[in-house]
Amino acid sequence: MNNSGNRNFAISVTDTHQLRARLSPCIAMDKRYLRSIRLLAECMRLFEKSSAALVRTLGFTEAQFDIIATLGNTAGMSCKELGEKTLITKGTLTGVLDRLEQKGLLQRTRNHADRRQLFVQLTPSGEQTFIDIFPQVIDRGQRGFGKYGEQDFIALEQQLIKLKNCLINPA
């Protein structure tokens, strides 16, 4: 041991080369994995940025639009189901629903069989808002895929399904 209490280890050049050789596949995989995750995150961020910019110009927050889009063309659903489908946290969901209700775009009613459960649905004005804005947001999103053909979509979907399954059931 040296004066600081640490051991001095001598690693030979051969040991260093052997260690690098054993770690090289792991490092290469880590670089590949990190590059893929970064690309996936960048694509999602760019897609959301484009969508969010349009949604804001239409007078809504992303969370408000998410709720309108989820409830559009449905008879409505429970708050719990809406939270699961939108991935908006319960605390945030309540405030967003309050604001949409104040705008006259949705209504909440209690389930008569279970008063603890709230049912949420768009009002006629909310349904018209959905009809007016949803196609615009979809059109903006589709433009990002303008150079994609049918085979590109099939290949992308196959890879995303494979990734999703790997994330659900990691090895």
Answer left, alpha or beta for residue 114, where phi above 0 means left and psi between -120 and 50 means alpha: beta
| Closest to 71 measured CA to CA, from 109, 28, 145, 127 | 127
Mean pLDDT, residues 98-122:
89
CA 163 to chain centre: 14
Output the DSSP codes for 53-100: HHHHHTT--HHHHHHHHHHTTSS-EEHHHHHHHHT--HHHHHHHHHHH
Q: 12-48: per-residue pLDDT in tens?
A: 656 666 656 665 565 555 778 888 889 999 999 998 8
Give every CB contact of residue 27 below 8 A, 6+ residues apart in sequence: none
For residue 36, which of 24, 48, 44 has the smallest C-alpha distance? 44
| Token pair for 91 | 């605390």
- pLDDT of 126 reads 97
pLDDT confidence tier of residue 2, bands split at 50, 70 and 90: very low
58-85 burial: b if 16+ Cβ within 10 Å, else e: eebeebbbbbbbbbeeeeebebeebbee
Phi, psi of 169 (to 5 degrees): -125, 75
Residues contacting residue 117 through CB under 8 Å, at least 6 positions apart: 78, 79, 80, 110, 111
Does the structure show a pLDDT above 60 at 95? Answer: yes
Q: CA separation (Å) from 89 to 70, 79, 83, 96?
A: 15, 11, 7, 10
Mean pLDDT over 66-85 rounds to 93
Over the chain, what is the mean pLDDT? Answer: 85
Q: What per-residue confidence (pLDDT) applies to 23? A: 55
Other C-beta atoms lying within 10 Å of the C-beta of residue 161:
10
Question: Is pTM, for the whole model, over 0.75?
Answer: no
Architecture of domain 18-141: Orthogonal Bundle (1.10)
Report the pLDDT averaged over residues 84-110.
92
